[in-house]
Amino acid sequence: MGRPNWAPDDIDIERPSVARMYDYYLGGSHNFAVDRAAAQAMVTAVPEAPLMAQANRAFLRRAVQFLVDAGVRQFLDIGSGIPTVGNVHEIAQRHAPDSRVVYVDIDPVAVAHSQEILAGNDRTTVVQEDLRHPERILGHPEVRRLLDLDRPVAVLVVAVLHFVAADDRPGELLRTLRDAVAPGSWLVLSQASADGRDDDERAEAEAIYRRTDNPLWLRSRAELTALFDGFELVEPGVVWVPQWRPEFSENTEDAEQSGFIGGVGRSGG
């Protein structure tokens, strides 16, 4: 397999990446044959997979617009993935040009491509780091340079938590982030859910993602709601993502087919 010029030399292009698979679901071009094969296997097991990714992306867009309207001007997007149309900075800065955005991702392709896209935008940056090490994210010089953690920040953890095992203590990771940001900050979460899925479909999806470096850990609505500890959920709470403040033209019938649940909360203060 030839290595494209946008691919960093130190990445394994023979092993599928969840970020590149997600890019493929969204119609992006920064993925390899191995990623497409894994994504197609997922589509065979769960035919709605591309629509699920699109529904989650639409949720992100609506959540960012909601936050901008609420006066938020600082965004920390952890697990941001490979940039595609409708990135956080595009949405936020279109409506509030003074918005500052830090993208964080563990995947070197996502980081390298983000750096290329963000060149010349002095209110946006990207760092390569892992949600499972929140203290390293919070202490990163680029995060400290661009964000004032003494003022409210929107922390976005969208389509990421299903790659964080229970043994990694996701509640503690999110509490570390919550305790580091000012009162009045916001948390946006979404993740794949097993609710409404049959056991065979769930087992096949989990088997596909075991081929990657990030196995799948599905959670229920109650489990995701518990991760908003210390944040007050805004209406309508944790729901299937198409049901979260849909726009007038959006169809919320069969919302559970999105496979993703999500919500937005605000810390006290």
Confidence of residue 19 (pLDDT cuts 50, 70, 90): confident
Q: Which of 225, 217, 67, 53 is nearest to 154 (CA)?
A: 67
CA distances from 42 to 34, 46, 264 (A): 12, 6, 28
Domain membership flag for residue 175: yes
Tally of structural domains, the chain: 1
Q: In sequence order, which residues have a C-beta less than 8 Å from that of residue 157 and are 6 or more positions away?
A: 78, 79, 131, 174, 187, 188, 189
Least confident window among 84-93, 168-177, 219-228: 84-93
Domain membership flag for residue 9: no
CB 102 within 8 A of CB 177: no
Mean predicted lDDT score pLDDT of the chain: 88
Mean pLDDT of 14-24: 81
Does residue 188 surpass a pLDDT of 60?
yes
Domain membership flag for residue 140: yes
Domain membership flag for residue 195: yes
134 vs 15, higher pLDDT: 134
Does residue 6 surpass a pLDDT of 90?
no
Q: What pLDDT does 240 receive?
A: 95
Confidence of residue 9 (pLDDT cuts 50, 70, 90): low
Q: pTM value?
A: 0.88
Q: Write out pLDDT tens, residues 50-91.
A: 888 889 999 999 999 999 999 999 999 999 987 776 789 999
Domain membership flag for residue 256: no
Residue-level length of the chain: 269
Domain membership flag for residue 192: yes
Give the residues across from 75 on adjacent strands: 101, 154
Domain membership flag for residue 213: yes
Q: In sequence order, which residues have a C-beta less than 8 Å from that of residue 142 and are 6 or more positions away?
A: 102, 125, 126, 127
Domain membership flag for residue 252: no
CB 237 within 8 A of CB 228: no
Q: What pLDDT does 5 receive?
A: 60
CB 73 within 8 A of CB 96: yes
The string of DSSP letters for 109-124 reads HHHHHHHHHHTT-TTE
CATH number at residue 197: 3.40.50.150
Which structural domain, as residue segments, surrounds residue 186?
Answer: 18-226+262-267
CA distance 135 to 260: 27
Mean pLDDT of 166-172: 95
106 vs 27, higher pLDDT: 106
